[in-house]
Amino acid sequence: RRVGIVGLGTGTLAAYARPGDHYTFYELDPLVLVAAESSFTYMSACRGRCDVVLGDARLSLEREPPQRFDVLILDAFSGDAIPVHLLTREAFRLYFRHLKPEGVLAFHITNRYLDLAPVVAAACEPLGKSVRLVRSEADPRGAEDALWALVTGGPPLSRMRFRPWTDDYSNLLSILRR
């Protein structure tokens, strides 16, 4: 499989690569790469091919030819300063340019302060894509629960009354958890 991942973190997702898989990580901060390679073993133990592209993921993807990813994962939204430019209508068009027609766009949208599900759904609706929310339960070994938005082809599941974010408009106050 060809997998693109925005946000390297400790490199945990590299553990899922199988022989023959090609994972491309997009990471903004070079120090994150240094930490992932020096303090964790996920990258060095990767059983597939793992590449890292340093720099802003959106700008990197804009420069690249279509990658034909089977899955494109965005895992950059858990903090309190989310990269809004990765959640705009224009960014979503870019993501789908890099996915195979049957590919899956996966957003890790677990966030203590912001409800990102309406942002993802509103960006997908005009593109004729559907969004499914999937929540994993906490693991007794220490992993916390996680919320994912999985985007695929097909009609939207429901119409939302939410203004899509663009490069010229976003509204963090509208998604604050109450």
Mean pLDDT calculated for residue range 143-166: 77
Give the span between the Cα atoms of 163 and 174, in whole angstroms.
Answer: 10
**Can 75 be counted among the known catalytic residues?**
yes
The token pair at 122 is 């509103």
Q: Around 86, how many Cα atoms within 13 Å sit in the side-chain half-sphere?
A: 26
| pLDDT above 90 as % of the chain | 70
pLDDT, tens digit, for every residue of 101-141? Answer: 999 999 999 988 899 999 999 999 888 898 999 888 777 77
The mean pLDDT of the chain is: 91
Residue 94 CA neighbour count, 13 Å, CB half:
19
Which of these is catalytic: 75, 80, 115, 168?
A: 75
Asked whether the predicted pLDDT for residue 31 surpasses 80, the reply is yes
Query: Is pLDDT at 160 greater than 90 in this prediction?
Result: no
Please write the tens of the pLDDT for every residue from 42-88.
999 999 999 999 999 999 999 999 999 999 999 998 877 899 999 99
- Select from 114, 54, 112 the least CA-distant residue to 87: 114
Of 160 and 172, the one with more pLDDT? 172
Confidence of residue 176 (pLDDT cuts 50, 70, 90): confident
Kindly state the percentage of the chain with pLDDT values over 70. Answer: 94
